[in-house]
């Protein structure tokens, strides 16, 4: 009898943990739905096959270049010519359209972390100057800014 009660309590605990994890994921996905994202098909194959977090950052960069072009990156990519967090995703734009992608963010979690924060704050309706200030405050400890 004790064993079945313990098993039942353990099962209920597991279900409650899973339910709370699902609800926080759903809340995060709801916030992301507020943001404009480029379709996955607009990305090169290697970006399409990237982990969801990275792929979403590329989609955001394509659809919202202005949100990232005024935000610095702190991964040290200034040494390779990057001038903003947008440069980690986009090599060249012409007439507001991406004509060449940069694969740097495929392997740099700091670039993606910065973009994810910009996405979150943009989704909350924060102003670009406030977003930039928060990124500087949170990420400047990792290295020199690329702008």
Report the pLDDT value the prediction gives residue 14, as an integer from 0 to 100. Answer: 37
β-sheet bridge partners, residue 100: 92
pLDDT in tens, 52-92: 999 999 999 999 999 999 999 999 999 999 999 999 999 99
Contact between 53 and 37 (Cβ < 8 Å) = no
pLDDT band at 51 (very low <50, low <70, confident <90, very high): very high
The 8 Å CB, 24+ separation contacts for 91-99 are 93/65, 96/65, 98/42, 98/62, 98/65
Q: Which helix (H) or strand (E) holds 19?
A: helix 2-34
Record the pTM.
0.77
């Amino acid at each position: 009898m004790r064993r079945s009660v313990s098993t039942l309590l353990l099962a209920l605990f597991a279900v409650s943990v899973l339910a709370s994890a699902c609800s926080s994921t759903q809340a995060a996905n709801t916030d992301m739905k507020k943001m404009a994202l480029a379709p996955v098909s607009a990305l090169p194959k290697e970006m399409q096959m990237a982990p969801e977090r990275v792929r979403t950052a590329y989609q955001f960069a394509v659809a919202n270049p202005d949100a990232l072009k005024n935000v610095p990156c702190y991964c040290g990519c200034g040494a390779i010519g990057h001038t903003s967090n947008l440069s980690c995703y986009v090599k060249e734009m012409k007439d507001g359209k991406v004509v060449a992608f940069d694969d740097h963010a495929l392997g740099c979690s700091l670039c993606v972390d910065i973009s994810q924060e910009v996405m979150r704050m943009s989704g909350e309706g924060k102003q670009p100057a406030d977003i930039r200030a928060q990124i500087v405050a949170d990420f400047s400890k990792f290295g020199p800014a690329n702008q």
